[in-house]
Amino acid sequence: MTEEPKDHAAPSGDTVPPSPPVISVMLIVPDADAAVAWYKTALGATELWNLGGVAGLEINGAAFFLHEVNPQNPAETSPGQAGFTSTRIEIFTDDPDEVVERAAAAGAVAGADIEDHRMPWGTHRQGGFTDPFGHKWSVGDRSPLGPFPPR
C-alpha cells in the first residue's frame, strides 16, 4: 500500500510541530567513490546512500554529502580544480588529537597543530588537516557548541 503525499499547505488535524531546519555541507570531489572510502576510513563516516557520483554520509548523526565534479556546472568544482577552497568544515569531538591522527594516517595533509586557544568561554583545543580532495577541516573540542555567555 502506498501513501498519498500530503498537501503541506492544507490544514490538518495533526498537532506535530515541523522539524527544525538542518544545516549540512556538500563537498565537491573529483572521485565520489574514492572520497566515500576515504571518509569512512579516515573519519569513521557511515554511508547513508550512494547514487554513484553523489553520496550521503554521516559522522555521529551529522550528515554531509559528496558530489562528483560536474563539468556542466562550473560552480561545482573541487578545490583541486579551483586551486583554493573557500570553506572550512569543522568537527567537534571529545578527542581532537585522535581524529587528526587518524586522518593523517589515512593520507590527510597536516594543518595547524592541535593547540589550546584562549576564547571568551575558556580554553578551546583545535587543529586541523586538509583531506586528499583539497577540503580543509578544523578539528576541535566541543567547547564552542554552547551559548555564550551561558544562559
Nearest one of 145, 141, 106 to 127, comparing CA atoms: 141
CA distances from 46 to 63, 67, 138 (A): 9, 16, 20
* pLDDT at site 10: 47
What the block records as the C-alpha cell of 81 is 580544480
* pTM exceeds 0.85, yes or no: no
Phi/psi for 31 (5° steps) reads -140, 100
Q: How far is CA 19 from CA 14, 16, 22, in A?
A: 13, 9, 9
pLDDT, tens only, 14-63: 678 888 888 899 999 999 999 999 999 999 999 999 999 999 999 999 99
pLDDT for residue 5 is more than 60: no
Q: What is the pLDDT of residues 72-101, one digit of tens each?
A: 988 888 998 889 888 899 999 999 999 999
